[in-house]
Each structure stands twice: as C-alpha cells, then as structure tokens.
Structure 1
C-alpha cells in the first residue's frame, strides 16, 4: 500500500478516549469533543514542528493552554519515529497510533491519570477537535491565509497548507489537547530540584519522555510529550525470535538501545540543570549527584527503565492484549 492509497482511520463518533489502540488513552474535554474557542494569545515556539500552542478561552468558562497538532504523513511517521523497531509495524495506522505526537501525548496523560500521578506534569484536561471554521480562523490569524480546509472542494492535498494536511488526512479534524494554563516565569529552586525525582517517577510508570530540554518545562514541570513512548510500546520491548539464541540476542540488543536512549534523555535533563544553575545563580541550585553519575556513562545502573512497567495490569483481557502484540502488531515474513 502506497502513501497515496492509504487513509488514516476516522475518529469515533460519538468521541471516545484516544488513541484507539491497547494502552492508556485520553478522554475528550467535552462530551462532543467540540467547544467554542477564543484564541487569545500565542504561547508556543515559532519553530515548533509539531503544534500550535495558544492561550484560549473555552466555552467562555476560563483560560487554558490549547495545544493543536499538525498532521503527520504516514511516510514521515514510518521513517522518523523515535526509538528502534526490530520489526516494522504491520500497517501505517499503527505507526500513527504509537508515534504520532498527538497520540504520544494522549498515552502519557492517560497513564498519569490512571496512576493518579497527574502532579508529575502540567495537567492535561482532555482533547478537543477543531471545526473547519476554527481551523481556518487560526490559520488566517497566523498567516493571513485560509489554507485548504478538510471539507473544501480542492484537488489532492500534499501537506503544503497551514496544518500540514495530506490527502490521507482529508476527513480528519485538527486534534488538540486542553492543558492547565501555567506561568511562564522562571522556576524556583524547589521546582528545579523536583525535576529529577519527577522524571524518575515518570519512568517508573512506563513512560520514556525523550525531550527533557529546558523548553519542555514550565515551573519545573514537563509540558511536552510529543516524542514520549508509553508502555506498552513497540519501541520499548524486544521482539522475540524463534530460537533461544535469537531471543537472547534480541533482548541484549534492545537493552543496549534502551540504555543509549535513556542516557541521551538524562543528559538533556543534566544540561537543563546546569543551564538553570547558571541562570538562577542566586537560588543555589544543586545538580543531583546520581543524575551526574548516570550521565557519566553509568546509565546501565539506572533502575527505573520504563520497559519494566507492568502494562498488562490495565488491560481487561490480558491474553488478547498479548496475542495482539505477538501476532498482529508487527509485520513478519
């Protein structure tokens, strides 16, 4: 199946928690996943490739941060996903389920809610779907051009529009996550010191964050999970072979890959700490000694690997979940 033939699955109507694949999910913010939205102020980064983040007033009820996600072509998701896969996934939809930035964030926030640890990040309150009129309004607000709408009578879409919509996304609305609106001021020393314990707790819940640089924190709390991998995740678990030797080699290779991924993530947090220590010199920021030790090529001793999380405890039918992973998730010869 070529990318021009493939169409992403339509979203459930009425709305259900997303994504529709085994593992944690995020529920809609309203029963219809629609709302009246007043776009008040741009909050994101100008070079953000995944999203537009705005201060909004939703249904006239108060102010929130709304993160609206650009579309990602299936070829891009297959070629540029984080982590490594021992086998390719069975179809393009599965790459979207596990690697699309919106779905990555939904899975993280669903896990934090399930575990009653929403305190570990800036809180997400649910997802919304933009109407074509809201899409056009924001595109015009940013660029002065309306762009190609999903229901517009236009030719094939090639991603060269404000939301990056390809033909395979034609029937899909722009997806957004409603988050608490938090201050963008510099964090306090106590907030900074909590970042490392929070990250370890997040890891223990089966979540690999990936991006822990300073731009993904507000008030010492993570706010961006566009690259996160949440158990169960095909990039965090080895694919077993048919023989004992294949199984052991696969386990060893995946362990080394995970150690390298974790080391890179911890080093980003370490850099973040040193930047904040220099910026907030008067606050007396201390660099966690164990974080420094892990970043000094001792990451093999780290004990909170996300892959160790027992994801099956949340599955109503554990046998079916295991069967899906072993028989349907991957493309096998």
Structure 2
C-alpha cells in the first residue's frame, strides 16, 4: 500500500538550476553537484538556525566557505517566513521553493550573477548536494558522536535529528552553497561607506535582503541571503502595502544600527553614518525609490509569457481553482 505521507519533490538524477520555479536559479558547482570535501574549520555562529558555515577544501583545492543548510518543514515556512502573504500558496512545495533559506540564497545569488553585480555581496560559486558520507562526517565533527545513525535508517523522521529531517524530507540530500572565503573582520571606512549604496543597488535589482544586521556582513559585504525575497516573489507581491513598508523600514534600520555600532568602535579610521539613511529611517521612507517590487524580473525569462501565466494561475489556491 502506498504511503500517504506527503513528500517534497525529489531532485532529478542530473542536477538542474534551483529552485525550479520562474525567476533566478543557482547552477550546481559541478555537473553532478558533488565533490570531495575536506572540512577544515567551523566559521559560523553557535546559534545559527538555518545552516552551518565551514572553511573547506574542495577536490583538494581551495579554500572556500561552504554554507550547509538544515531542512525546514513546509508548515514552518508557511507559518513563519510566509506569514505575511495575503493568500495561501496552492501547494506545500511552493513554500519551500520560495521561502526555504537555501532557495532564498539561490535566487539572490543568481540575480547578482545575471545582472553582473556579484560585487554587491561575497561571491557564490554554485550549489552542492552533500553525500550521506559527508553528512555523517560533518555531524561527527559538530556533535562529537563517533557513529551517527544515518537518517535513511530511521523508521520515522520527526525532526529530532541533526539535519532536522521530517518524513517529507526523506531521501532528499542536504544542500550547500560554495562561496568565496573572506576574512572575518570589521570594515574599513571605505568598505563601510559602500554598504549603504550596495544595499540600495540590491533593492534596485529586486532583492529584499531580509536581514541586514551586522553579523551578516564581513568586510562590509553581505554574506547571508537566507531571508531574502527576490523578484519575482509572492512575498513581495502578495502582501499588504503597509507590511511591505515595514519590511523595508526594518531592512534600513538594521543597517543604520550597524553603522552606529561601527562608529563607536575605537579606531583612527572613522566611519560616517549616511545622512540619507538616517532620514529614511526617521520618517522619510516615502521618498525611497529603490523598491524591489518594481524590478523587471521578466527580462531574464526565456519564456516571459509562460512565467507570467505561472505566477498568475499556479501560485495561489483561489487563482488555481
């Protein structure tokens, strides 16, 4: 008898750009999205909930920064990341395609590549699918458990495992993104001076970063797009105008707070707080012009008519009926 448990879409045998919905898609790092990985050093924060970041060698070369993502249930994404939608999405898979942290990063990084603006963030080189052996190796290094039980051997996956797998994730590989390795240092005044113009350029490319606190910058460059919304995105299009305004204001305010923090550091290299950023956060947000929702995302689609039909007819329950 066939199982009634809902399962998210399986990956094709030959990896394709992800996510598999209209809009930007990140390509695999290699043709089969698999490599030999040597985990060298943990680079992330202990309280990171979406991912692990490690300094690695790949196929004996490197070094790179590898961001390895935990799994998220589609119900969690619906109730948290997608809570602002004015209508529910038509299928559970869509919550993963648009709001899962891995897919959010894929979309943002590919938009930067398409627009030839990879200078706006730490560069990503593509995604990988982690093998079961690599999963076990990383789990051993993090937990100290010398003999982790593979999730495939567990009778019922309830999320109480290292990778947060539920039954809906059974058989899916852990995903990772290969990024350029950069130093973990505070920005110079010149680097800090670019953070505000860079954020405006990101917005003008249809990317709402979602989390611009100081911990997501290294040397003045963004390293985290796990909460980003990149046009086309229902989280930008199908929310109340007031809510979108709040998201924009939070984005700007977090960066402003980071500038305030940097100006208080003891240094001879003084960092200035952008006056227009202060003004936008103090009540002049209506004058801000670089709204992500206005970006012409269809310019990158091979079949714009099909992409429009998809987002108008397939995304929402009311429109799909």
TM-score, normalised relative to structure 1? 0.92
Contact map agreement 1:187 1:218 (CA 8 A) in 2:
yes
> 1:149 offset after TM fit, Å?
2.2
Aligned with 1:84: secondary structure?
coil
Contact map agreement 1:267 1:295 (CA 8 A) in 2:
yes
Determine the C-alpha separation between the residues in 2 that align with 1:201 and 1:284: 24
Question: 1:44 maps to what in 2?
Answer: 44
Question: 1:243 maps to what in 2?
Answer: none
Cα deviations by residue, 1:77-104 (Å, 9 ceiling, x for unpaired): 1111156211100011000000000000
Aligned with 1:259: secondary structure?
helix
Determine the C-alpha separation between the residues in 1 that align with 2:33 and 2:152: 19
2:291 counterpart of 1:311: no
Question: 1:291 maps to what in 2?
Answer: 277
Contact map agreement 2:53 2:68 (CA 8 A) in 1:
yes
Contact map agreement 1:22 1:321 (CA 8 A) in 2:
yes
Contact map agreement 2:152 2:170 (CA 8 A) in 1:
yes
Summarize the Cα distance change of 1:75–1:329 in structure 2 as closer, same or farther, 3 Å threshold.
Answer: same
Question: 1:197 maps to what in 2?
Answer: 197
Determine the C-alpha separation between the residues in 2 that align with 1:302 and 1:82: 25
Question: 1:8 maps to what in 2?
Answer: 8
Contact map agreement 2:105 2:226 (CA 8 A) in 1:
yes
Determine the C-alpha separation between the residues in 2 that align with 1:149 and 1:100: 23
> 1:147 offset after TM fit, Å?
4.0
Structure 2, gaps ≥5 residues long = none
Summarize the Cα distance change of 1:177–1:259 in structure 2 as closer, same or farther, 3 Å threshold.
Answer: same
Determine the C-alpha separation between the residues in 2 that align with 1:82 and 1:167: 21
> 1:307 offset after TM fit, Å?
0.1
Question: 1:242 maps to what in 2?
Answer: none
Cα deviations by residue, 1:186-220 (Å, 9 ceiling, x for unpaired): 21110001000000000000000010000000010
Determine the C-alpha separation between the residues in 2 that align with 1:318 and 1:237: 17
Contact map agreement 1:148 1:161 (CA 8 A) in 2:
no
Summarize the Cα distance change of 1:312–1:214 in structure 2 as closer, same or farther, 3 Å threshold.
Answer: same
Summarize the Cα distance change of 1:138–1:257 in structure 2 as closer, same or farther, 3 Å threshold.
Answer: same
Contact map agreement 2:26 2:106 (CA 8 A) in 1:
yes
Question: 1:53 maps to what in 2?
Answer: 53
Determine the C-alpha separation between the residues in 2 that align with 1:77 and 1:130: 22
Within 5 Å, give how 1:1-333 maps onto structure 2: 5-82=5-82, 84-145=84-145, 146-152=147-153, 154-238=154-238, 254-332=240-318
Determine the C-alpha separation between the residues in 2 that align with 1:237 and 1:86: 9
Determine the C-alpha separation between the residues in 2 that align with 1:180 and 1:134: 20
Aligned with 1:11: secondary structure?
coil
Aligned with 1:283: secondary structure?
coil
Question: 1:250 maps to what in 2?
Answer: none
Cα deviations by residue, 1:244-274 (Å, 9 ceiling, x for unpaired): xxxxxxxxx7322211110011000000000
> What's the Cα RMSD here?
1.3
Aligned with 2:67: secondary structure?
strand
Q: Report how many aligned residue pairs link the two structures.
A: 315
Determine the C-alpha separation between the residues in 2 that align with 1:280 and 1:120: 27
Contact map agreement 2:5 2:167 (CA 8 A) in 1:
no
Determine the C-alpha separation between the residues in 1 that align with 2:33 and 2:260: 41
Structure 1, gaps ≥5 residues long = 239-252
TM-score, normalised relative to structure 2? 0.95
Aligned with 2:237: secondary structure?
coil
Determine the C-alpha separation between the residues in 1 that align with 2:271 and 2:144: 44
Determine the C-alpha separation between the residues in 2 that align with 1:10 and 1:79: 23
